[in-house]
Amino acid sequence: MPSSSDRGGPGGSAAPGGPGGSGKSGGLGGSGRSGGPGGSVLPVGLRASVRAVVTEADTAAAMGSGDVPVLATPRLLALAEAATVAAVGPSLGAGFTSVGTSAALEHRRASPLGAEIDVEAELTEVDGQRLVFSFIARAADTDEDVVVGAGTVERVVLDRARFIARAAQNPAVDRG
């Protein structure tokens, strides 16, 4: 299970926001503009990281994305998304959440069973309800700067209850 190190989360130490900010703000908005629920600004620079040890369940063989016992690319993406959620979740207004809409990932290096991975995400752009993050994954169990992967994730902030209600009314249908 990954541990969060964004704002003193479980198993982590405090690493608030990015340049020039505390990393805390209510509601949603961005880039100095008011927007979204509550009209508050969600500052660029919010960041968080998650750390995980590669287990059998995290491997390409177990996830069906390959047949080798190394960190699966889908698992690396899930860790990146977890870091993005940790970065902005505490700053969203009550009743709001964010959902992933797009991702680009370059998986650069294999990570075997037992490897410790640290994935850091930073909010780099806010455009109304659209949030863009960059992330980098590094081997955490070495003194060298070993980059495992990097990329971007986009999320949209929305009203959680309305989203769940709409999803229930329009479930995904296999059109196969």
The list of the chain residues with pLDDT below 70 reads 1-40, 173-176
C-alpha span between 135 and 163 (Å, rounded): 26
Tokens of 23: 């990393």
**% of residues, the chain, pLDDT over 90:** 70
C-alpha span between 18 and 133 (Å, rounded): 12
Q: According to the model, what pLDDT value does residue 103 have?
A: 98
- Per-residue pLDDT tens for 44-85? 999 999 999 999 999 999 999 999 999 999 999 999 999 999
Residue 158 region, left (φ>0) first, then alpha (ψ -120 to 50), else beta?
A: beta
Residue 34 inside a domain? The answer is yes
Domain, as residue range, for 106? 3-169
Residue 175 inside a domain? The answer is no
Tokens of 98: 């964010």
The number of distinct structural domains making up the chain is 1
Q: 139, 110 in Cβ contact below 8 A? A: no
What is the CATH number for 156?
A: 3.10.129.10
Residue 174 inside a domain? The answer is no
C-alpha span between 49 and 125 (Å, rounded): 18
Task: State the CB neighbour count (10 A cutoff) for residue 29.
Answer: 22
Residue 83 inside a domain? The answer is yes
Q: Is the dihedral of CA 167, 168, 170, 172 positive or negative?
A: positive
Q: 157, 36 in Cβ contact below 8 A? A: yes
Residue 176 inside a domain? The answer is no
Residue 8 inside a domain? The answer is yes
